[in-house]
Each structure stands twice: as C-alpha cells, then as structure tokens.
Amino acid sequence: MLTILFDGIAYGMLLFVLACGLAVTLGLMNFVNLAHGSFAMAGGYITLILVNRIGVPFFAALPIAFLVTALIGAVFERTLYVHVYAKPHLDQVLFTIGLVFMSVAAVDYVMGSQQQYIQLPDMLHGQFTVLGVNVGKYRLLIIGICGLLTIALQLILAHTRFGSRLRAAVDDPRVASGLGIHVNGVFAVTFAVGSGLAGLGGALGAEILGLDPTFPLKFMIYFLIVVTVGGTSSITGPFLASLLLGIGDVAGKYYVPKFGAFVIYTIMIVVLIWRPQGLFARATAR
C-alpha cells in the first residue's frame, strides 16, 4: 500500500517535471504546445547516447541533457514558435502536431523504433525496505531530484526579480509590457527552461516511462491532463495535479490491472464535471 503510494509519488513528481514547462508557457502566452513531449523525448535520447554510446556517467549526463534540450528549445522558440504565438489555437495545434510527427519519424529514422534503456549505474539498482515500505533506489532518486527542482522553481518564482516579472507577465501580458517588462524575452527564457526541464524529465523517466519514438504521442494526454486539471496560473496546481495523476495511475494499474488505463480518464472526467476550469485555477477573465 505505502509502496504503491511511494511509486505513485515518484511517478507524479516525474510528470510534474515533464509538464511544468508546458503549464508555464501555456499560462504565459496562451500557447498550446502539443510538441512538449518531443523535448522530453529529446532529453531521453540525448542521455541514452551520452551514457550508452559515449560512456558519460549518468549523473553527468543529466545536466547535459537539461542544457542541450533547453538550447534546442531556445532555438526552436526563436526561429519557429515565435511566428505562431499570435495565430489562433487551431494553427498552434496543427503546427505542434506537425512538429510531433516530424520528431517521431526523425527519431525512428536515427535511433530505430524499438524501446531503449539507459544503462544506470549499479548503485541505483535494487531497493531497500524502510518501515515496511519497499523503496526503489532509482525512484527515491527521482523524488529527490524532482522535489529539489520543485522547491527551486517555487523559490525562483516567488523570490527573484525574474520570478516576479514572470508572474506579472502571466497575469496580464499587456500591462506587464506597459510597465517595461520585456515579455517576449521572459517568455523565451521560460520556454527554454521549460523545455530543458522536460528533457531532464525525459532522461530521468526513460527507466519508468519507457523510451521509444512514440513517446510524445503516448504522453500528450498526460501533459494535457496535468495542465488542464492543475490550471496554468501557478505551479502548485500542476504539481498537485501531477501527484494525483501519478498516484491514481500507479494505484489503478496495480489494483485493477484490467481497467488501470481508465483511472486517469476517470479522474479527468470527474474533475471536469466538478470543476470545469481546473481544480486549482483561479477564476480569471482569460
């Protein structure tokens, strides 16, 4: 029971790191980025290449995956995404689906379509028991890293100048730019960091979520649920939504394996009927 809770929390934390970038970009620019999973996949494959082929230590590969994905994100943002912000949602959806299809086929071409595994260091294998709870070492690592990241993100948002600029821009981009905040610049940085976090999540999650070219398609719905259930006005909402989704998914797959896949959709439907604007969303005009 507690083991499932533990696994669920690890899973949820992972989902949060994967999806929080999406939540912020969505809240900031009202931009629907379905290709967010592609960045996560990029992070996973970068780590795979670094660790399995070049022999970089796993812990050194993680920050590299973050940085490279962030860089890819920044380049894409400045060259392609920037043209699509002002367009209607339909265009954004089409554009990002196109990117997803391209990334899926490109990764398939370069890396092959089979499921791949990152060689983890030996110290991360296995599990130990604390007070009757089976603690997987790798999952503990995920909770540790993601927990630290969450705290760091919260601190950055709440206590730095950049954080307050970002919050101002999310609240009302027009007024924020009127006050001299460079909204586009803030957004570019946020987009890059969000992509980087997705890449880090993809790298960490390859062991649990699996890594193959269809990754962006498989997890698109998870990201959408996190963002819609959690709302986009803060990072607390997506965080709680991720935990709910992670624990629900793991528990569902464990207790009712036959219907495990439906648990997340049930959560989604219940939330939608109960709170159409999302569980933690503030009632805003937008």
Partner 1 sequence: MSRPLTYEVSRFLAERARWHPLEIAFWVAALASVFLLPAKHLILTEITVLALFALSLDLILGYSGIISLGHAAYFGFAGYVAGLLAKHAIVSEPVLALVVSGIAAAVLGFVTSFLVLRGSDLTRLMVTLGVSLVLREVANQLDTITGGADGLQGIVMAPVLGLFAFDISGHVAYVYCLLVLFVLFVVARRVVNSPFGLSLRSVKGNPLRASAVGISVNGRLVGIYTLAAGYAGIAGALLTQTTQFVSLDVLSFERSADVLLALVIGGTGYLYGGIIGAVLFKLMQDYLANLTPQYWQFWIGLVLVVIVLVGRDRMTGWLDQVRTYLARVSPRATRRVGAVGASPVDGD
Query: What does the binding site for partner 1 look like in residue numbers (CB under 8 A)?
Result: 26, 32, 34, 80, 83-84, 87-95, 97-106, 108-109, 217, 220-221, 224-225, 227-228, 258-259, 261-262, 265, 268-269, 272-273, 276-277
- Please, which residue, 160 or 277, has the CB nearer to partner 1? 277
Q: Which is nearer to partner 1, 127 or 171 (CB)?
A: 171
Nearest to 215 by CA among 100, 65, 63, 79: 100
Strand partners, 116: 211
161 versus 258: smaller Cβ distance to partner 1 = 258
Q: Measured between alpha carbons, how far is 32 from 186 in angstroms, rounded to an integer?
A: 17
CB of 30 to partner 1, least distance (A): 8
**Least distance between partner 1 and beta carbon 204 (Å):** 24
For the bound state, the minimum distance from the C-beta of residue 268 to partner 1, rounded and expressed in Å, comes to 6
Nearer residue to partner 1 within complex by CB, 89 or 182:
89
Give the span between the Cα atoms of 231 and 239, in whole angstroms: 10
Considering the complex, what minimum distance in angstroms separates the CB of residue 227 from partner 1?
A: 7
- What's the maximum distance between 2 C-alpha atoms anywhere in the chain? 57
Q: Which is nearer to partner 1, 59 or 255 (CB)?
A: 255
110 vs 286: CA distance, rounded Å: 42
The CA-based dihedral angle spanning residues 128, 133, 134, 136, taken in that order and rounded to the nearest 10 degrees: -80
| Nearer CB in complex with partner 1: 35/62 | 35
Least separation in angstroms between CB 55 and partner 1 = 30
Q: How far is the CB of 267 from partner 1 (least distance, A)?
A: 10
Q: DSSP readout, 100-152?
A: HHHHHHHHHHHH-SS-B-----GGGSSEEEETTEEEEHHHHHHHHHHHHHHHH
Contacts of 129-133 with CB under 8 Å at 24 or more apart are 132/2, 133/2, 133/3, 133/6
| Cα–Cα distance for residue pair 271/166, rounded to 1 Å | 28
